[in-house]
Structure 1
């Protein structure tokens, strides 16, 4: 395996015309265009709904069921309408650290957050009145507990213990659409920027390849005999961060929380089906499972998968089924039916895929880690695909068109 640390990020730059960035999705999700890259490298243009014809009963389609939360909270210093605006962007829970317990909290919680206009909030607390359906007006208070690099740990409290934090952010927060859309969140985004199968709260960005699927398309896939499976990766704000270092080795990969039920791991341990991942988040989770299986075989911790673990000389002869078997053994020994971990894995040219055989993905930003992942899968053939997509005026980024990489 080639060590990607010395790869120049300039090799993954391309001129993306502003006019090709999709500001809004199409009215019907599965009518977008689909660029298919076949196993022999040939390219074909289809419509996304055709994916039901391109997959078969030999395939397992794996999707990320995360749900985007209303992560952006806008406070006013002093509580009124005239004070300085303080924006608190929730990233991940700190106490309780478990997403489910934090959302269910009725006595307060703390989150790692980005703080906008931070200079105007040096001490004390900020508050806002929140109208919660069925509960009336609740006063939400935020206090900065400590700085942690570019982020801060913010403690939240509210004055009604019959209200959960989930209800608070649902009522008070704003859905955070991608910054490159250069517009405010609109009412339509509340639906458009969620997959039809989203259900586990925690992401601050959507797994956008999944936005193209519809209930009717899923029914077509079931009729084809395609197995549909779910996992969870909560997408962090780091997904939008371009690589700013000259080489990939200088880029600190962001950590993201994954949760996978033991049933899916059991299937992966015994199946010979082709695994088709919906989106780079599903890709990242599935490939992380392999390396967590390697860690399990070595008696190592499964709490976190380090960024460079696949490239650091660890044994790689293990098959997908064997790695999943080792992971199963550890989970059963620990008496757990769900694997939870933080993954920092970076998938870049030189990486050999262990679990994913095909993927559905959108067109990504220049110099992004997502583009590195696509390049690794296509053997460096991404530029030919992107050149064709720009020539034919495909729509790019979160609300844009899709690719099927076989």
Structure 2
């Protein structure tokens, strides 16, 4: 099997990349694509373009200030960019509650200047008291860093006080005070992402009020977006790209609601879409083997197997909740969605405009068709849409 990344290239000049969001955030443009027809709107009109039987699914992950800066005695700055927790737990929600010590897999800036046995020091004010922070290598080869601090404040409080918001690299600017609010959805709740689910940045309380008046259902899941979402595909055969692994969380109530309202599901963002499709494949795994773990491998959906209905797969997941007396399930996914993928849950998609040569653009192509994505992106470029994280939005209904 081969997917040529050269089929997913288009010209995106720097001046088309939105460096800041529009104000107010729901005043962004909205391209509406339905059955090969395109119309232009503002995001405040989203309620007029969504069918009344829509079930919106949103990702309520919250971006943490994952960039931590330490200064060596020589004056050299070492940046520690938190990726995934290692201990005391690899479950992000538990890792954020850790006290006194935590180990994370990181991206380390200036790593060559940081000696293996060297301890880095910093201080920060938390809740009106000074906290001393230390950073040392737990495993240099694996880029695992131990962060310890001398107070009973939890890791979440430490990060909020000491870290900086990690903006996407293609913005080519440092984070600013306004990004603390701007690079966060208004419904963000569960801390743990290092990148925002940016399709949700356009929503406001006003938009949600309009959605509620129309009777549109909405539900929330959690996928903690990782830095791997920004990685361009560098192999000509995209299937050789090392797909990033992200942690997701589903509640029992969410699965019950989804079974009852699965007719016209519209995820907000590619993270919600990947989560929903991964949930279906977890159900398939449970049907094939009741003791399966919730880990969806990159190419698992493309294996030959007997067709399983959406409802049957979701009922298998619900049964897993009930048999194990669970209220939530935590899983992992590295699912890769590209043309030839058959969508199992999602009927529409609200999303921004993505980077060339990216797995997210391949996902859009899989959803709307290999030729149609080019038509959509050409139309957006010709009508001065703003691209990427702080850019404009689209509603896609194939």
Same fold at TM > 0.5? yes
Match of 1:92 in 2: 84
Note if contact 1:110-1:155 (Cα within 8 Å) is conserved in structure 2.
yes
Matches within 5 A, 1:7-406: 7-38=3-34, 40-78=35-73, 82-95=74-87, 96-123=89-116, 124-134=118-128, 136-148=129-141, 152-160=143-151, 162-299=152-289, 300-315=291-306, 317-380=307-370, 381-406=372-397
Q: Using structure 1 for the length normalisation, give the TM-score.
A: 0.95
CA displacement at 1:269 relative to structure 2: 2.3
Deviations 1:337-377 (A, max 9, x none): 11210100001011010000111000000000000000000
SS of the residue 2:121 aligns to: strand
Distance in 1 separating the partners of 2:221 and 2:9: 31
* Total equivalences in the alignment: 393
CA displacement at 1:332 relative to structure 2: 1.4
Note if contact 2:282-2:294 (Cα within 8 Å) is conserved in structure 1.
no
Deviations 1:169-221 (A, max 9, x none): 10110000111010110111110000000010000000000000000100000
Q: Using structure 2 for the length normalisation, give the TM-score.
A: 0.97
Distance in 1 separating the partners of 2:107 and 2:323: 38
**Any stretches of 5+ residues in structure 2 without a counterpart?**
none
**Any stretches of 5+ residues in structure 1 without a counterpart?**
none
Note if contact 2:123-2:133 (Cα within 8 Å) is conserved in structure 1.
yes
CA displacement at 1:272 relative to structure 2: 4.3
Distance in 1 separating the partners of 2:94 and 2:257: 28
SS of the residue 1:377 aligns to: helix
Deviations 1:266-321 (A, max 9, x none): 12223343101000000000000000000010115223111100012233x21111
SS of the residue 2:144 aligns to: strand
Q: CA RMSD in A?
A: 1.1
SS of the residue 1:184 aligns to: coil
Note if contact 1:104-1:166 (Cα within 8 Å) is conserved in structure 2.
yes
Distance in 1 separating the partners of 2:120 and 2:167: 24
Note if contact 1:37-1:43 (Cα within 8 Å) is conserved in structure 2.
yes
Note if contact 1:125-1:142 (Cα within 8 Å) is conserved in structure 2.
yes
Distance in 2 separating the partners of 1:265 and 1:351: 23
Q: Which moved more, 1:278-287 or 1:257-266?
A: 257-266
SS of the residue 2:7 aligns to: helix
SS of the residue 2:236 aligns to: coil
